[in-house]
Amino acid sequence: MRVINSDIFRKGIHGIEHNFRVLIIVRKICSIENITNDIKELLEFCAIFHDIGRINDGIDDSHGLRSIKKLNENDYFGLNALNVPLTRFIIENHCIKDNTAIANIDKYDIKNKEEATFLFKVFKDSDNLDRVRIGDFDSSYLRLPNSPKLIKFANEIYHKYTDRKLIENEILSWISSRVNW
């Protein structure tokens, strides 16, 4: 297992602060949608690592693939229980158009495609809700009926979680508490 530190995360609008807010939004949606703890943990993992393959802050529909490549190169940072097709599907496809991503599901060994599609939408809405940080949030891109109710929540956490050191500690704590499950 490779040791992880906060350097794996970019600085900027797709940095660790963004990942942390997506993690918090994932938790909120999972609570609303009554998603099991195991699946919630998988979505939390996706939130933490979905943008580690970014090389810029612009439109980049390949960074999901690079994020999975980086996870593989680093042996999933010891979180091998989360190296499953659903994780790879969500991270690799979160940065492309929904219809293309859903069409890609057959490339993964996922038995329950309906559930995977729903969880993909949970993740995409979580990521999208944090667009409040860059001022181009558009609620018409939300996929789930309950997600528009979280716009105010997304704004609140954007203003609440600004201390990078605290966020780094929270993320690294999440990872270290789950290594070698």
The pLDDT of residue 38 is 96
DSSP per position, 51-86: TTT-SSSS--TTHHHHHHHHHHHTGGGG-GGG-SHH
Rg of the chain, C-alpha, whole Å: 15
The pLDDT of residue 30 is 98
Entry pTM: 0.94
H-assigned helices in 82-163? 85-93, 98-104, 113-129, 151-160
Pull the structure tokens for residue 14: 């797709």
Domains of the chain with bracketed CATH: 9-170 (1.10.3210)
Pull the structure tokens for residue 110: 């996922």
Q: What share of the chain is helix, strand, coil (3-state, %, to 5)?
A: 65, 0, 35
* Residue 145 identity: P
Could you identify the residue written with the tokens 């999208």?
Answer: 128
CA dist., res. 174 & res. 177, Å (int) = 5
Q: pLDDT in tens for each of the 181 residues of the chain?
A: 445 566 788 788 898 999 999 999 999 999 999 999 999 999 999 999 999 999 988 889 999 999 999 999 988 888 988 999 999 999 999 999 999 999 999 999 999 999 999 999 999 999 999 999 988 889 999 999 999 999 999 999 999 998 988 999 999 899 888 876 4
Could you identify the residue written with the tokens 């929904």?
Answer: 98
